Structure 1
Amino acid sequence: MSFNIALSGLAAAQKDLDTTANNIANVNTTGFKESRAEFADVYATSIFSSGRTKVGDGVATSLIAQQFNQGSLQFTNNSLDLAITGEGFFALTPDRQSQDLTYTRAGAFKLDKDNFIVDNKGNFLQGFSVDPVTGENQSVSLSTTQPISIPTSAGAPRETSNVFLSMNLDSRAVETGSIAFDPTDRSTYNHSTSVTVYDSLGESHTVTTYFRKVDTTAPAPSQWETRLVWDDNVATPPGPNSWFSGDDLYFDSSGNFDTTLGVPQIVLPLADLNLAANGYLNNGAQFGNDVVVNFRDASGVRLPTQYAANFDVTNLSQDGTTVGNLTGVDIDAFGRVLASYSNGDSTYLAQVTLVRFANVQGLKQVGNTSWKQSITSGEPIGGQGNTGTFGAVNASALEQSNVNLTTELVDLISAQRNFQANSRALEVNSTLQQTVLQIR
């Protein structure tokens, strides 16, 4: 019996050595979680034996328990390197259509040849669908996750429908309203500003707005005429002029915009823009809506002013875009993936899926610093980062191994001493049996 007890001690010490050696070997493995060998004594007796004299039957390995405490963060220059601070795992699948999820804390991700985010083994990072404008997720059910892809272009161009323009017009400007407007003659207008707009094919056009101070006292102390020229006057609008005329701007004696007549506009009718004879479009594009220059910002809060100050454009924007190329990818603490494009567009693509378990030590290791669900781990629960008990997602960072090398070296010495002690017990037992066999 003592042979078996000593052998069980040797096996336990060997298991402890193996566990410690595995921890040390993975001290630089991203997302690795250290393990701890846990042991229990072996004791067996019957109802007719005396428990007072029973010694025990040795030791057995009870569990190799992984320790999921937080590893330190290593910051990188790759925005696709992700780390979780707090609870949670990334979800991966081996192919695009699979629902066979594995879970990992190793966030060294990159793009494959089809622009999908994958790990070093080619497993696809899963995400939730989101609203492309607000980034709000549509579901946190794991059955709705899908691989995250990063498109390299912003898709189809978007034609301009509205231009938003607000400015300060210099109240000291000389009145030019009595002179015939000529966009090529600087003396026939006071101020001008330009903006680029886009047609249905994404080609850019320059729209220049001109302002002329008018000699009038009604209905307000100051009045300004507005004119608009398309593509530096190369087109020919209908009528005798080569420019569009818009609503007049009125200001009170304090320089504030007079809203009693509504917010003025310059409307470029789509019928005129699309007519080939007018020469606005020569590339086959067609506008689906009028192009409207609104003298306000998009929210309607910032309006034109007329102060004794230099001409200053306070807001100038438009809602069209050309085709854009990918310029950057950002991922916030909630796991929302935001793509930026060269045309100024920013689009939310997905939200990185985070998963947690009731008992993380019940997860089954499958290699490559990954785990799978088991009976003892409980069901996976999906969610978004930085909410509830889910940890925050850190972009351009990797979670290092949580192995403490100093502690592991001490444990290595302890396991070695245990092995030597059990070897000595086996040797003593052998010597005693040899002595008995030599009795004559």
Structure 2
Amino acid sequence: MSFYISLSGLKAAQSDLSTISNNVANVNSTAFKKSQAVFGDIFASAPMQTTTQVSGQGVRVQGVNQQFTQGTIETTDKTLDLAITGEGFFTVKRTADDQVSYTRNGAFSVDENRYVVDTTGARLQVIPLDPTTGASTAAAPLTTASLTDLQVPTNWPAGATGNQLSSVGVSEEGKITGVYADGTTVYLGATAMAAFNSQEGLRQQGDAHWTSTNASGAPMLGMGNSGLYGSVRSGALERSNVDITEELVALISAQRNFQANSKAIEAANTLSTTIVNMRT
């Protein structure tokens, strides 16, 4: 039995090492959220058995939980680099299959069709606004179907010539405005911020993207700098929330745990060999 108990310990230590290694590998990934392996003991006994005379049967991995703590905000001075201070996610949609996902990686840029896209090519989703007043024109309650792709026209009105774009601005609420050559300021949309009842229930998709599940609950959409939603900072990006010093200490601990379980297997093997080689 000791072989299998120590084997479960080896597997648990290996899972811990893999989780820590993934955290360390992504220390420079934009908006990466670190994970932590959670373990639980295995215990079983017969109904008529005295539990004080039964030892445990090993350890198991209960899950690998994501840690959605705030990462460091790094200034970039690029207008379409957006960071969230507080809770919430940006909403993006892939054009290939219309899949909606959520991210805190705000490294946005403009593609050849003037759509604002993230590093994976998914388009930033915005709440439609009145171009003049900036008031929302979407019906309540907000759903992903109410959102539109953000497009920054080179000229205003869109398709016209002469009145070219001068600059783009983003407020703390996430309202995107375009200023044109004649001084006209146009509201292009407001970044659709998403919040969830259980962030830990989100399904990872890679590239700092997540999709909603039954465990996370349906997304609650709104504008930034209000309620559950953090404020939007233009010209900045959120770095990984991995503390490299903390991870290296955890790595040493996991390595020692692995070595201890290896020694336990070695001791059990020595004991078994001694018993087998005993002569009467």
Q: Which band: TM-score by shorter chain?
A: over 0.9
What is the TM-score when the length of structure 2 is the normalising length? 0.95
1:135 deviates by: 1.2
Which SS does the other structure have where 2:53 is aligned?
A: coil
Residue by residue, what CA displacement relative to the aligned partner does 1:338-367 show, whole Å, maximum 9, x if unpaired? 001111111000000000100101111111
Q: Provide the C-alpha distance between the structure 1 equivalents of 2:38 and 2:187, rounded to a whole number of angstroms.
A: 46
Residue by residue, what CA displacement relative to the aligned partner does 1:98-127 show, whole Å, maximum 9, x if unpaired? 2x2111111101011101011111111101
Distance 1:416 1:49, change over 3 A: same
Q: How do residues 28-39 of structure 1 correspond to structure 2 at under 5 angstroms?
A: 28-39=28-39
Could you tell me which residue of structure 2 aligns to residue 374 of structure 1?
A: 213
Q: Provide the C-alpha distance between the structure 2 equivalents of 1:365 and 1:343, rounded to a whole number of angstroms.
A: 45
Structure number with the higher helix fraction is: 2
Q: Provide the C-alpha distance between the structure 2 equivalents of 1:73 and 1:357, rounded to a whole number of angstroms.
A: 22
Could you tell me which residue of structure 2 aligns to residue 149 of structure 1?
A: 151
Higher Cα Rg: structure 1 or 2?
Answer: 1
Which SS does the other structure have where 1:12 is aligned?
A: helix
What is the TM-score when the length of structure 1 is the normalising length? 0.61
Q: Provide the C-alpha distance between the structure 1 equivalents of 2:188 and 2:228, rounded to a whole number of angstroms.
A: 24
Could you tell me which residue of structure 2 aligns to residue 317 of structure 1?
A: none
Residue pair 1:155, 1:323 contacting (<8 A) in 2 also = no
Residue by residue, what CA displacement relative to the aligned partner does 1:8-59 show, whole Å, maximum 9, x if unpaired? 0001111111111110110110010011111000112221222111101100
| Number of residue pairs matched by the alignment | 276
Distance 1:349 1:14, change over 3 A: same
Q: Provide the C-alpha distance between the structure 2 equivalents of 1:390 and 1:414, rounded to a whole number of angstroms.
A: 37
Identity %: 43
Could you tell me which residue of structure 2 aligns to residue 88 of structure 1?
A: 88
1:143 deviates by: 1.9
Q: Provide the C-alpha distance between the structure 1 equivalents of 2:230 and 2:196, rounded to a whole number of angstroms.
A: 13
Residue pair 1:156, 1:323 contacting (<8 A) in 2 also = no
Letter in 2 for 1:400: R
Which SS does the other structure have where 2:177 is aligned?
A: strand
Letter in 2 for 1:339: G
Q: Check if 1:346 corresponds to 2:188.
A: no
Letter in 1 for 2:15: K
Which SS does the other structure have where 2:27 is aligned?
A: coil
Question: RMSD between aligned alpha carbons?
Answer: 1.6
1:96 deviates by: 7.8
Could you tell me which residue of structure 2 aligns to residue 211 of structure 1?
A: none
Residue pair 1:115, 1:149 contacting (<8 A) in 2 also = yes
Q: Provide the C-alpha distance between the structure 2 equivalents of 1:71 and 1:23, rounded to a whole number of angstroms.
A: 13
Q: How do residues 255-274 of structure 1 correspond to structure 2 at under 5 angstroms?
A: none
Q: Check if 1:121 corresponds to 2:120.
A: yes
Q: Provide the C-alpha distance between the structure 2 equivalents of 1:126 and 1:95, rounded to a whole number of angstroms.
A: 12
Q: Provide the C-alpha distance between the structure 1 equivalents of 2:107 and 2:158, rounded to a whole number of angstroms.
A: 32
Structure 1 gaps, min length 5? 158-201, 203-321
Which SS does the other structure have where 2:52 is aligned?
A: coil
Q: Provide the C-alpha distance between the structure 2 equivalents of 1:39 and 1:70, rounded to a whole number of angstroms.
A: 25
Q: Check if 1:384 corresponds to 2:223.
A: yes
Letter in 2 for 1:150: V
1:386 deviates by: 0.2
Task: Give the one of 254, 260, 263 matched to 1:415.
Answer: 254
Q: Provide the C-alpha distance between the structure 1 equivalents of 2:253 and 2:171, rounded to a whole number of angstroms.
A: 44
Could you tell me which residue of structure 2 aligns to residue 430 of structure 1?
A: 269
Q: Provide the C-alpha distance between the structure 2 equivalents of 1:72 and 1:133, rounded to a whole number of angstroms.
A: 35
Distance 1:96 1:149, change over 3 A: farther
Could you tell me which residue of structure 2 aligns to residue 112 of structure 1?
A: 111
Which SS does the other structure have where 1:52 is aligned?
A: helix
Q: Check if 1:327 corresponds to 2:166.
A: yes
Q: How do residues 145-184 of structure 1 correspond to structure 2 at under 5 angstroms?
A: 145-155=147-157
Structure 2 gaps, min length 5? none
